[in-house]
Amino acid sequence: MPELPEVEYIRRMLRSAMEGARILRVLARRPNLRYAFHPDFVSRLDGQQVLAVTRRAKYLLIDLASGDTLLMHLGMSGWFRVLRRAPGRKGPASEEFEKHDHVVFEMSNGKVVVFSDPRRFGFMTLHAPGELETHTAVSKLGVEPLARGFDARALAAELGRRKTSLKVALLDQRVIAGLGNIYVSEALHRARLSPRRRASTLVTKSGDPRPAVHDLVNAIQDVLKKAIKNQYRTGSDDPFVVYDKEGQRCPRRGCTGTIKRIVQGGRSTFYCSICQR
């Protein structure tokens, strides 16, 4: 499943292709993705100018001149690609589309944005002004890990109330929006923190963050920024230090540990039991 860096990479690609342009035509090449398209899905998009392409956690949001917002999620296998319409043609030739190309946006700037999703767990839904504020998918999300408001004190305020393990707490979208399984494992290793550790132990009785929380905030932001910068797409490269490295020697210089795999909250955790405390 695409995680926050992959979604942010796509957001930047879509912003370049769509922001400021009008949607000349939308092709919905099937009646549904995870959910059925609303009957007026295409008509509400056709002719609309794209004002902004933003991200909230792992959701992509396209703000339209009409006031509507297109909410999109990649699901397990969703991805976008951008084509360029040939001069004099209304759209790309049908042979340019592949079997799993389900939604096509033809833009006024000559770009053609194609959404592909072999497993069809992704979705696209349109929302009128004000609807997203109470939408179940986004209304209870926590702070963005790359936002200015994400610091040690903000994280401590959440961890201090958690009786779960640190790994499970960090995967809770009410704590940090969009942080996923892979990058939690990577950040915990970078911060030298055990995923088994009780989350609340990182906070003092008075609610102040211990030094480890500062290290964790820096580690989370570092691994996410590195992934975005290098345009990592899960599965196409192997940029990870500990994720899926069970049985291999810990990569930290001077550490004699071996990467172990455990299951927490139904998800695989990879860590070094020697240097992560």
User: If DSSP codes are grouped into helix, strand and coil, which group holds residue 106?
Assistant: strand
Structure-block tokens of residue 230: 């290098």
Q: Beta strand pairing status for 101-107 and 267-272? A: unpaired
Of these residues, 25, 44, 153, 267, which one is catalytic?
A: 267
Tokens of 260: 């172990």
Q: Is 144 a catalytic residue?
A: no
Give Cβ neighbours of residue 170 (< 8 Å, ≥ 6 apart): 176, 179, 184, 187, 188, 199
* Catalytic residue chosen out of the listed positions 2, 92, 145, 195: 2
- Side chain identity at residue 226, one-letter code: K
Write down the catalytic residue from 3, 6, 106, 158: 3
Q: Is 58 a known active-site residue?
A: yes
Within 8 A by CB and 6+ apart from 54, the residues are 11, 60, 61, 63
Cα–Cα nearest to 186, from 121, 252, 119: 252
* SS3 call for 136: coil
* Sequence-ordered list of residues with C-beta below 8 angstroms from that of 29, at least 6 positions apart, any chain: 97, 101, 102, 103, 104
Annotated active-site residue 3? The verdict is yes
CB neighbour class for 260 (10 Å; exposed up to 12, middle 13-18, buried from 19): middle
Annotated active-site residue in 11, 58, 167, 245? 58
Catalytically active residues are 2-3, 58, 267
